[in-house]
Structure 1
Amino acid sequence: MTLDIVRAAALDGIPHGFFGRSGGISTGAVAGLNCGLGSGDDPKAVETNRRMAADAILRSAPLASVYQIHSPTAVIVTAAAPYSERPQADALVTDQPGLLLGIVTADCAPVLLVDAEAGVVGAAHAGWRGALAGVTDQAIAAMISLGAKIDRIAAAVGPCIARASYEVDDSFAERLLVDDPGNDRFFAEGKGGKPHFDLEAYVAARLAAAGIGRIETVGLDTYALEDRFYSYRRSTHRIEPTYGRQLSLIGLAS
Structure 2
Amino acid sequence: MTSSATWAQEALLPADLGAGLLRVDLGPGVVAGFTTRHGGVSPAPWSSLDLGTSTGDEEARVRRNREQLAGWIGAPVAFATQVHGATVLALGGAERTEWESVTPPLSAGEADALVTAEAGLGLGVLVADCVPVLLVDPVARVAGVAHAGRRGLVAGVVDRAVDAMVARGASRDGLRAAVGPAVCGACYEVPEALRDEVTAVVPEAWATTASGTPALDLPAGVLARLSAMGVPADRVERCTRTDPDLFSHRQATAAGEVTGRQAGVIVLA
TM more than 0.5:
yes
Could you tell me how far 1:192 is from its partner in structure 2? Answer: 5.2
- Determine the structure 2 residue equivalent to 1:201: 220
Q: Distance in 1 between matches of 2:165 and 2:183?
A: 27
- Determine the structure 1 residue equivalent to 2:79: 65
1:120 maps to a residue whose letter is V
Q: Distance in 1 between matches of 2:107 and 2:221?
A: 32
Q: Distance in 2 between matches of 1:148 and 1:188?
A: 33
- Determine the structure 2 residue equivalent to 1:177: 199
User: Which protein has the bigger helix share?
Assistant: 1
- Determine the structure 1 residue equivalent to 2:249: 232
Q: Distance in 1 between matches of 2:195 and 2:54?
A: 29
Q: Distance in 1 between matches of 2:206 and 2:249?
A: 21
Aligned partners of 1:17 and 1:57 also within 8 Å: no
Q: Distance in 2 between matches of 1:89 and 1:171?
A: 27
Could you tell me how far 1:28 is from its partner in structure 2? Answer: 1.6
Q: Distance in 1 between matches of 2:211 and 2:187?
A: 13
Could you tell me how far 1:17 is from its partner in structure 2? Answer: 1.4
- 219 and 104 in structure 1: CA distance in 2 versus 1, 3 angstrom threshold: same
Structure 2: stretches of 5+ with no match in the other structure = 1-16, 99-103
Match for 1:219 among 237, 243, 268?
Answer: 237
Q: Distance in 2 between matches of 1:62 and 1:9?
A: 20
Aligned partners of 1:10 and 1:215 also within 8 Å: no
2:80 maps to a residue whose letter is V
- SS at structure 2 position matched to 1:9: coil
- Determine the structure 2 residue equivalent to 1:128: 150
Could you tell me how far 1:83 is from its partner in structure 2? Answer: 2.6
Aligned partners of 2:28 and 2:138 also within 8 Å: no
Q: Distance in 2 between matches of 1:85 and 1:215?
A: 27
- SS at structure 2 position matched to 1:172: helix
Are positions 1:146 and 2:168 aligned together? yes
Deviations 1:64-84 (A, max 9, x none): 211100001111111145535
Question: Where in structure 2 are the equivalents of 1:145-164 lying within 5 Å?
Answer: 145-164=167-186
Q: Distance in 1 between matches of 2:106 and 2:72?
A: 24
Deviations 1:85-139 (A, max 9, x none): 6211000000001111111100000000110110100011111110111101111
- 121 and 39 in structure 1: CA distance in 2 versus 1, 3 angstrom threshold: same
Aligned partners of 2:26 and 2:136 also within 8 Å: no
- Determine the structure 2 residue equivalent to 1:137: 159
2:251 maps to a residue whose letter is R
- Determine the structure 1 residue equivalent to 2:58: 42
Identity of aligned residues (%): 39
- 140 and 105 in structure 1: CA distance in 2 versus 1, 3 angstrom threshold: same
Could you tell me how far 1:193 is from its partner in structure 2? Answer: 3.9
Q: Distance in 2 between matches of 1:52 and 1:73?
A: 28
Question: Where in structure 2 are the equivalents of 1:80-119 lying within 5 Å?
Answer: 80=96, 82-83=104-105, 86-119=108-141
2:267 maps to a residue whose letter is G
- SS at structure 2 position matched to 1:101: strand
Structure 1: stretches of 5+ with no match in the other structure = none
Aligned partners of 1:10 and 1:216 also within 8 Å: no
- 13 and 98 in structure 1: CA distance in 2 versus 1, 3 angstrom threshold: closer
